[in-house]
Chain A
Amino acid sequence: GNSVTQMEGPVTLSEEAFLTINCTYTATGYPSLFWYVQYPGEGLQLLLKATKADDKGSNKGFEATYRKETTSFHLEKGSVQVSDSAVYFCALRGGGYQKVTFGTGTKLQVIP
């Protein structure tokens, strides 16, 4: 079946630091890949997505590239802000696409 593996958190960074959150996946066929963000006390909201190999999703300074050869979809941001503090979830959909498979989430804390 499908699976998503995210790096363990929490991740603590100083403001303006570079962020990478690793995500690898296992799936048959050609899934779509997503990053969702959950701010404290809120539901999940889409951050970015990519639907085919070599696509780059981007939003609010965050980027992730769909790498089929390494089955990865790592999230990056060049300069994080305190307002980026949240939990980030990697997800995929495909190969029996009724279900969406989420990673366990990575908590990011950005300190001033």
Chain B
Amino acid sequence: NAGVTQTPKFRILKIGQSMTLQCTQDMNHNYMYWYRQDPGMGLKLIYYSVGAGITDKGEVPNGYNVSRSTTEDFPLRLELAAPSQTSVYFCASTTDRVDSTIYFGEGSWLTVV
């Protein structure tokens, strides 16, 4: 019963490098999200998707890109990493029912130096 799986759990990037955070869910959820959480702060929505082939920007999309080629996978790509992208990243998924629980991954800790 895997739920939402994120990889990697920890990563250190140098300024200007790029990387992809992977997210996979095995619950056949249409809706998927990427959030970032800065130290001591709440969640900020980066991107979300309501189904394969459909993505949309959240509050803080600059510096990131996403794709949704399958229902299961929703990778987040960081282009030209900057220190401001040092954060914890959470992937989440849910169904299209308004009363459905949102399931979160365990998080990916990213440091840009």
State yes or no: do A and B come from one complex: yes
Q: Chain A: residues with CB nearer than 8 A to chain B?
A: 31-32, 34, 36, 42-46, 49, 51, 89, 91, 93-94, 97-100, 102-105
Q: How large is the interface on B (under 10, 10 to 19, 20 to 34, 35 or more residues)?
A: 20 to 34
Chain B positions within 8 Å of A45 at CB level: 104
A111 to chain B, nearest CB (A): 19
The answer to the question of B2 belonging to the interface, with a C-beta cut-off of 8 Å to chain A, is no
Chain B residue nearest to A33 (CB atoms) is B99
Chain B residue nearest to A6 (CB atoms) is B42
Binds A, one of B11-19, B43-51, B60-68, B74-82: B43-51
The answer to the question of B34 belonging to the interface, with a C-beta cut-off of 8 Å to chain A, is no
Give a binary string over B30-47; 1 marks a CB under 8 Å from any A CB, 0 the rest: 010100000001110100
Closest 3 CB pairs of A and B: A104-B42, A43-B104, A51-B99
Q: Is the CB of A98 within 8 A of B42?
A: no
